[in-house]
Amino acid sequence: MHVDENKLYSRRVLTARTDPEAARRQLERILASPGFLRNERMSRFLRFLAERHLEGQGNQLKESVIAVEVFGRKTDHDPSQDSIVRTEAGRLRGRLAEYYVGEGKDDALVIELPKGGYTPAFRWRDSSPELPPNKKIGRRVWLVSLAVVILLATAALRWAQETERFWRNPLDEVKFQNLTDFDGTEQAAAVSRDGKFVAFLSSRDGQPDVWVTQAGSGPFHNLTRGNAPELVNPSIRVLGFSPDGSLVTFWARNPAGESGKIGIWAVPTLGGEPRPYREGVAEFDWSHDGSRLAYHTPASGDPLFVSDDGAPPGGPIFTAPAGLHSHFPLWAPDDRFIYMVYGALPDKLDIWRIKPAGGTPERITSHASHVSHPVLLNRRTLMYLASDSDGSGPRLYSIDVERRLPHRLTFGPDRYTSLAATADGKRLVVTRAIPKSTLWRMRIGDAGAPIRMTSTPATTTSPRLGPDYLLFVHSTPNTASVWKQANGADAELWRGDGAQIIGTPCISPDGVHIAFAVRQRSKALLYVIQADGTNARVVSDSLDLRGSPAWSPDGRSITVAANEQGIPHLVEVPLEGGSPTVLVRDYSVDPAWQPSGRFVVYSGPDIGTTFSVKAVAPGGAAYTIPRLTTLTRGARHLKFLAGGGLVFLRGGIGHKDIWVIDSETGAERQLTNLPADFDIQDFDISSDGHEVVLERLQEHSDILLLDLARQ
C-alpha cells in the first residue's frame, strides 16, 4: 500500500504542548499496530527516535549514532558507504503514513518524521476550519499562543530529561548473599511474600526435587523426595508460595498419557505430603489483596483467566494466537494490571500488560529476545531477565513501566535463569548459572557410555555429521563461527563479527556445501559456503528467518522457516536466483526432507509442553505419516536415516533419549538410554544409524539472596 505522505498531512496540524505520557501512549499504540508489530527493526527505530527526543536528547539523533545503536553497525560506520539509516527512515515515514490513513485515522496525536532529519514531531490534529488570511489579529494571537505552547513543551521535555537523569539502579547498595553452594544445578528459585522462606529445584539427591530453606539462616529441606512428577520447565515460573507462605507450590507434568497432565501442586512449607493445588493450571499469581487469582492453562495460546474469590471464571481475558505464548502472569502492586511475557518461544518475547477485565495488551519492553521472570519492586520499577541482542545472557534488566527505557543491570559472563521478589520488592532471589556445552560421541547398540570429544574451541554447539567430517558452531558474545573437524584437525570455515547463528547449520546431500542462517546487524541472512569454507555467499537477506534450515534432496533449494506477522512458516529459497516460495502456510519450523524427496516433515507449535510433527509433499499438500506422541518442548531435531527411519528426541523437558520411527509402519525403537543428568540440547546421527554425536549442556548454578536498599 503506497500513501502520499504530503497528501496525508494536507490538513493543518498544530504543534501543541505534548504531554510526554500522552506521547508515549501514542507511541505504544502505533507500535502495537499490525504494520509495526510484525517489523521488529522498524519498531526499534521508531522507539529509539521518539524516546531520545522525549528525553531532550534530540541533538544526538545523528545518522552515525543511529547506525550504531539501532542497526548494529560498527563505530567506524561510514554513512556515505552505507545508507541504511536514510533508507529505513524513508520506510518509516511511509509506514507512519499508512498507519494514519488506516487504524490511526482517528488518533488525536500525530507522530511524524519530517524529511531532512531524524527528530520526530509530535502534533495534535486540529479539526477547526482554516483561518482566513486577512485575519491579522487572529493570526497574531495564534502566534503568541504557539510561543507559549513551545515554552511549555520545552519545560515538559526538560522535566522528562531530569526524571530519567535521576533514575536509580535498583541494585545500588544491594547486599548479596550466596544461599546455596551445592554441586550441580539449582534453579527456579522463589521467595515467600514476607521474605522468610526460599524454595528452589535441586538434584542434590539424584533427581530434581523441591527444596526449601529459611532465608539466609536455616538448613535445607527436601520437600518432595523423588515423589513429584516432572518438575523442570524453564519457560515458566515453576515454583511459588501461597499468599500466607504456608505452602510451596510447584508446576508438575505427569508424563503418563498422550499429552501429559499438567497442574499446580502444593506441599506444606514445613514438610508434608504433596497434593494437587490447581488442576489443569500451568502458572498463576494471586492479587496483592489475595482476593483474585490470575492464571493460564496449557491450552493453545495459553488462555489467561481471572477468578474472583475462588469463583469459577468466565472466559479468558486474553489468548495468544496459535504458535505464540503468554507466560509469567504478574499482578501490579495496585492490582490495576496483569503483566505477562508474550511472544514466540524461545527468543522472540517481550513483557506486556493487560487490565484484569481484558482488552488490548500494552507492550512494555521491545527486546524481541529471550525474556522471562518479571517482578515489580513498586508500581513503576520492573525487573526481569532478558538476553542481549547477540544472544548472550540472560542478564538482569530494569525498566520504568511508564517511561519504558530498559537498563541493563549486570555485565560479565554470568547468566541468570530465574528471578523472584517479595511483596514489598525489598528482597530478591536469583539463580546465577555458568553453562557449558560439550560434544560427545557414541555407537548405537554398544553398551558403552558416550565419549567426550575434544575441539579447538572449548565450548561448541550444534553438531552435524558430514561425509568424513564433523561440523559445529562456536559462539562468543561478539562473534559466531562455523567450524569443521576432519582427520583430527579443526578448521574455522566462517566467522561473523556481531553475528548470531539462527538454528543449526545443515550439510547438502552430497556433503559439498553448507547452509546456515545468521542474524547480523539486525538483519537475518541465509549463507551458503563450500565445505572447505570458500565461496561464501548470501542467498537470502529479505526473510525474518527462524529455526534451522534444510537442503532439498536435489540440492537446488533450501527449506527454512520465515516469520510473517510473528508466525513462522516454511518457504523454499532457490539457490540460482528467484524469489522464495511458500511451502507451508501454517505454523511450521525445523524441516527435514525424506531422502527421496517424497515429503518433508516439520515441527508444529508448542501447545502446553508438547508439539506435533506434520508432513507435506513437495507441492505443499498434506502428507500422512505415523503420529508421533509425547514430544516435549526443548530440543526437537528430526533426522532421516538412509533407510527411511525418522530419528527424534523423546522424554521430559530436562532429559531426553533418541528414538527412531519407521515412517511407513509407525514401529518405534529407543536407540539410547542416557544417564538422568545427561541433558541433550542437540544431536546428529550418521545416515546408516550406527553413530550419534550429542551436544550436552552442563550447568553449575547457585541461588543468590539480594537485599535492596530502600527504593
C-alpha span between 603 and 587 (Å, rounded): 8
Question: pLDDT value at position 436?
Answer: 83
Q: Are 161 and 181 found together in one domain?
A: no
Q: Are strands 381-386 and 589-593 parallel, antiparallel or unpaired?
A: unpaired
Residues 543 and 459 grouped into a single domain: yes
Do 269 and 305 belong to one domain? yes
Is residue 21 domain-resident? yes
User: Is residue 360 included in any domain, yes or no?
Assistant: yes
Do 610 and 630 meet the contact criterion of CB atoms below 8 Å apart? yes
Could you give the C-alpha distances from 401 to 172, 332, 333, 335, 548, in angstroms and in order? Answer: 19, 11, 13, 14, 35
Verify that 423 and 456 share a domain, yes or no: no
Over the stretch 107-159, which tens digit does the pLDDT of each residue have?
889 999 998 889 999 888 753 333 344 444 444 544 445 555 555 555 544 54
Could you write out the DSSP letters of every residue in 160-183? HHHHHHT---TTTT-EEEE----S
Which strand ranges, in their side-by-side order, compose the sheet holding 407-408? Answer: 371-376, 381-386, 395-400, 407-408
Inter-residue contact 120 to 111 (CB < 8 Å): yes
CA distances 437 to 238, 327, 472, 547, 682, Å, are 24, 27, 11, 19, 10
Cα–Cα distance, 491 to 507 (Å, whole number): 16
Q: In this structure, what is the dihedral angle of CA atoms 187, 191, 192, 194, given to the nearest 10 degrees?
A: 170
Residues ≥6 apart with Cβ < 8 Å to 227: 274
Distance CA 588, CA 581 (A): 14
* Cα dihedral sign, 41-46-51-52: positive
Q: Quick check: is 695 in a domain?
A: no
Examine the fold and report which residue of 104, 131, 165 is the final residue of a domain before the chain moves on.
Answer: 165
Residues 615 and 639 grouped into a single domain:
yes
Q: What is the pLDDT of residue 131?
A: 34
Strands 209-214 and 220-222 come out as antiparallel
- Are 293 and 155 in the same domain? no
Q: What is the pLDDT of residue 155?
A: 52
End-to-end C-alpha distance for the chain, whole angstroms: 49
Which residues are CB-contacts of 124 (< 8 A; sequence separation ≥ 6)? Answer: 13, 14, 15, 16, 18, 108, 109, 110
Whether residue 548 sits in one domain with residue 616 = no
CATH for 541: 2.120.10.30
Burial class (CB in 10 A: 0-12, 13-18, 19+), 577: exposed
Name the DSSP class of 632: B
Q: In terms of domains, do 120 and 185 share one?
A: no
| 3-class secondary-structure state, position 658 | strand
> Is residue 499, in this structure, part of any structural domain at all?
yes
Residue 208 near residue 653, CB atoms below 8 Å: no
Which domain-ending residue is among 105, 132, 165? 165
Rounded average pLDDT per 10-residue block, the chain, 711 residues:
38 48 85 77 87 81 85 76 84 86 85 89 63 43 50 50 61 87 83 95 87 86 87 89 95 63 92 92 93 93 87 85 91 96 90 95 92 95 89 89 88 85 95 88 85 85 94 87 93 91 94 94 90 94 93 95 88 91 94 95 86 92 88 84 92 88 92 89 92 90 86 55
Residue 640 in any domain: the answer is: yes
428 assigned to some structural domain: yes
Q: How many domains does the chain have?
A: 4
Q: For the segment 30-62, what is each residue's pLDDT rounded down to a tens digit? A: 888 877 876 778 888 998 898 888 878 777 788
Residue 347 near residue 19 (C-beta atoms within 8 A): no
Smallest Cα–Cα separation from 376: which of 367, 388, 364? 364
Range of the domain at 144: 5-165
Question: What SS3 class is residue 184?
Answer: coil
Regarding whether 181 and 147 lie in a shared domain, the answer is no
- Sign of the four-CA dihedral 700, 703, 709, 710: positive
Q: Which pLDDT score, from 0 to 100, does residue 698 have?
A: 83
Task: Give the pLDDT of residue 14.
Answer: 35
Angle at CA 303, nearest 5°, toward 301 and 304?
135
For residues 107 and 207, membership in a common domain is answered with no
- How much is the pLDDT for 56? 80
- Which of residues 117, 135, 165 is at a domain's end? 165
| Beta carbons within 8 Å of 147's beta carbon, 6+ residues apart | none
How far is Cα 449 from Cα 22, in angstroms, rounded to an integer?
A: 63
**Interhelix angle 40-54/20-31, nearest 10 degrees:** 180
CA separation for the pair 348, 483 (Å, rounded): 27
One domain for residues 265 and 384 = yes
* CA 583 to chain CA centroid, nearest Å: 25
In a domain, 569, yes or no: no
Q: Taking the CB of residue 146, how many other CB atoms lie within 10 A of it? A: 13
Assessment of whether the complete model's pTM goes beyond 0.85: no
Whole-angstrom distance, CA of residue 183 vs CA of residue 32? 45
Shared domain check, 184 and 151? no
- What is the H or E stretch that residue 54 is in? helix 40-54
Question: Is 563 part of any domain?
Answer: no
